[in-house]
Amino acid sequence: MFEKRIACIGAGYVGGPTMAMIAMKCPQYKVTVVDVNEARIKAWQTDDLPIYEPGLLEVVQAARGRNLFFSTDINAAIRESEIIFVSVNTPTKTFGEGAGKAADLQYWEKVAREILRESESPKIVVEKSTLPVKTAQTMENILNANDRNIRFDVVSNPEFLAEGTAVKDLLSPDRVLIGSRETPEGLKARQAIVDIYANWVPTERIITSNVWSSELSKLVANAFLAQRISSINSISALCEKTDASVAEVSRAVGMDARIGGRFLNAGVGFGGSCFRKDILNLVYICEGYHLYEVARYWQSVLEMNEYQETRFVRNMVRSMFNTIVGKRIALFGFAFKADTGDTRESPAIHVAKKLLDEKAELVISDPKALDNARIDLAGCGGGIDYVEDPYEAARGVHAVAVLTEWDLYRKLDWGRIYGSMEKPAFVFDGRNILDTRKLFEIGFNVYPLGRPPLKHF
Ligand code: UDX
Ligand code: ADP
């Protein structure tokens, strides 16, 4: 009764929301999302979804049980589907050749072999996870090294959604990119994927390319976005020493239509599962081709990010009279950005660890990310409390550091917080979201990012 069957292997931040959107928009297709992680699949079957993403539950509810299914039966999903999206994790390698830089492809290759083993009919395999350039070719080689005469076409369809705005990004993407071989079979496979998105994405926003361009575009888009953040963060350091405000500079610079105003917010550093990993990948690939100058150029984007995190902590320690031993410090926000519970590569992890090294005591607060924070900081030792309510978290602390731009922190009763803190009371605004003048008038010593501090001594 369904026109086509689509499977997605990997029910994470990419696979789950993307497939939910495809299922909602294409009732004629059966969409089955599978994962080895049983708990994750179970959660997708309830209204307590495994990831927090505004608006996602409504999308899932619109299609679940109708044409959207979540299952752990990976083999059955492979067998029955004509199109298989693969969105398993591709973390940075921690061992062997390329450790710390190259992508760890063991999950991808394992999936390729599962697809090969289970398939009884031709499949279009769609690469959805970020992978180093030329992986599709490798996958096609593995898949087509079969003696059962089954045809596999590998298509690259990188996902550009950002967490926290995934539903909006999927509903109305800037572009959908589909890369394939430019052979008759490759073009046919490409068209099958175009046909899915054409159900709701205007055709002029669906662009196609060869496989290598598509794979590389994902890395480059993320590298460019991260580069903008590192650029403005480098200027924030200069602004703090002079009388400039980085927000004013970024507004003036961003109003140049050639530059544009987005992704110019200075902060404590970028996090998330993609930026660091993708730049490391780009650097690794460039080094592989002996393009050392190019590799160094992109490496410096990461170095600037690490500098920003380190600088933030150094500034905290210096401002609090050069010692934070035994001082309680509340961290407001642990997610890598607002509107997500995800903490992968969150600058908060690095800041927290550095503060613990300085022997501070921490109170971590976040509306959605405390479970992940506990996992990230497990085994770090030192005194760490996890308190969701920011007023409770701030009671008796010497300082509050805002590390995620959650809207709720803008709206807090900062006078009440000040009243319950140790004095002198410090606020370090790592995301530039607070009304610093007002906080200063309440009595805080305020350290905004990219602006000179406002202090009472
Ligand atoms: C990113 C890309 O935006 C997305 O296209 C890709 O598919 C995956 O990687 P994501 O990591 O989910 O998405 O979030 P993003 O909004 O890009 O933010 C990444 C980090 O940069 C966050 O830590 C955020 O706080 C930080 N950031 C972003 C800034 O510090 N300043 C800015 O101006 C924008
Ligand atoms: P992303 O942000 O790229 O979506 P996640 O880590 O959130 O990454 O999701 C990747 C998912 O892929 C995880 O839920 C993981 O359990 C799943 N996964 C990894 N390897 C396999 C595999 N061989 N078969 C099925 N699922 C897998």
Per-residue model confidence as pLDDT tens digits over 72-105: 999 999 999 999 999 998 888 888 888 888 888 8
Provide the 3-class DSSP secondary structure of residue 440: helix
Residue 403 — pLDDT band, cuts 50, 70, 90? very high
Q: Count Cα atoms within 13 angstroms, Cβ side, for 171.
A: 9
CB of residue 133 inside a 6 A radius of ligand 1: no
Residue pLDDT, tens place only, 168-218: 999 999 999 999 999 999 999 999 999 999 999 999 999 999 999 999 999
* CA-proximal residue: ligand 1, atom 9 (nearest): 274
Q: Residues 6 or more apart from 5 whose CB is under 8 A from it?
A: 29, 30, 32, 80, 81, 82, 83
CB of residue 271 inside a 6 A radius of ligand 1: yes
Q: Could you tell me the distance, in angstroms and rounded to a whole number, from the CA of residue 299 to the centre of ligand 1?
A: 18
Q: How far apart are CA 98 and CA 374, in angstroms?
A: 30
Residue 149 — pLDDT band, cuts 50, 70, 90? confident
Give percent above pLDDT 90 in the chain: 89
* CA-proximal residue: ligand 1, atom 1 (nearest): 162
CB of residue 263 inside a 6 A radius of ligand 1: yes
Say which ligand is closest to the CA of 334.
1
CB of residue 229 inside a 6 A radius of ligand 1: yes
Q: Could you tell me the distance, in angstroms and rounded to a whole number, from the CA of residue 214 to the centre of ligand 1?
A: 20
Residue with tokens 């550093």: 269
Say which ligand is closest to the CA of 159.
1
Q: Could you tell me the distance, in angstroms and rounded to a whole number, from the CA of residue 205 to the centre of ligand 1?
A: 21
Domain ranges of the chain: 4-201, 228-457
CB of residue 333 inside a 6 A radius of ligand 2: no
> Contact at 8 Å (CB) between 362 and 342?
no
Q: Could you tell me the distance, in angstroms and rounded to a whole number, from the CA of residue 7 to the centre of ligand 2?
A: 14
Please tell me the class of the 228-457 domain.
Answer: alpha beta
Q: Could you tell me the distance, in angstroms and rounded to a whole number, from the CA of residue 238 to the centre of ligand 2?
A: 41
- The per-residue pLDDT for 398 is 98
Residue 439 — pLDDT band, cuts 50, 70, 90? very high
Q: Could you tell me the distance, in angstroms and rounded to a whole number, from the CA of residue 223 to the centre of ligand 1?
A: 11
CB of residue 225 inside a 6 A radius of ligand 1: yes
Q: Could you tell me the distance, in angstroms and rounded to a whole number, from the CA of residue 52 to the centre of ligand 2?
A: 16
- Token digits of residue 166: 């995934």
What positions carry a catalytic annotation?
A: 274
Query: What is the DSSP secondary-structure string of 39-69?
Result: HHHHHHTSSS-SS--TTHHHHHHHHBTTTEE
CB of residue 372 inside a 6 A radius of ligand 1: no
* CA-proximal residue: ligand 2, atom 7 (nearest): 12
CB of residue 141 inside a 6 A radius of ligand 2: no
Residue pLDDT, tens place only, 310-325: 999 999 999 999 999 9
* CA-proximal residue: ligand 2, atom 9 (nearest): 12
CA proximity to 267, closest of 450, 454, 455: 450
- Token digits of residue 32: 């089955």
CB of residue 430 inside a 6 A radius of ligand 1: no
Q: How far apart are CA 324 and CA 358, in angstroms?
A: 6
Q: In whole angstroms, what separates CA 47 from the centre of its chain?
A: 23
- Token digits of residue 113: 């072999």
Phi, psi dihedral angles at 307 (to 5 degrees) = -60, -40
**CB-based burial of residue 111 (10 Å sphere; 0-12 exposed, 13-18 middle, 19+ buried)?**
buried
In sequence order, what E strands does 211-336 have?
Answer: 328-332
Say which ligand is closest to the CA of 90.
2
**Global pTM?**
0.95
User: Dmax of the chain from CA atoms?
Assistant: 78
* CA-proximal residue: ligand 1, atom 2 (nearest): 162
| 4-201 maps to CATH 1.10.260.40 | no
Cis peptide before 122 (omega within 30 of 0): no
> Contact at 8 Å (CB) between 2 and 23?
no
> Contact at 8 Å (CB) between 211 and 179?
yes
Other residues' Cβ atoms within 10 Å of the Cβ of residue 352: 26
- The per-residue pLDDT for 36 is 96
Q: Residues 6 or more apart from 1 whose CB is under 8 A from it?
A: none
> Contact at 8 Å (CB) between 68 and 19?
yes
- Read off the pLDDT of each residue in 240-253 and give the average, rounded to a whole number: 95
* Residue 41, strand partner residues: none
Question: Which of 38-47, 109-118, 408-417, 435-444 shows the lowest mean pLDDT across its residues?
Answer: 109-118
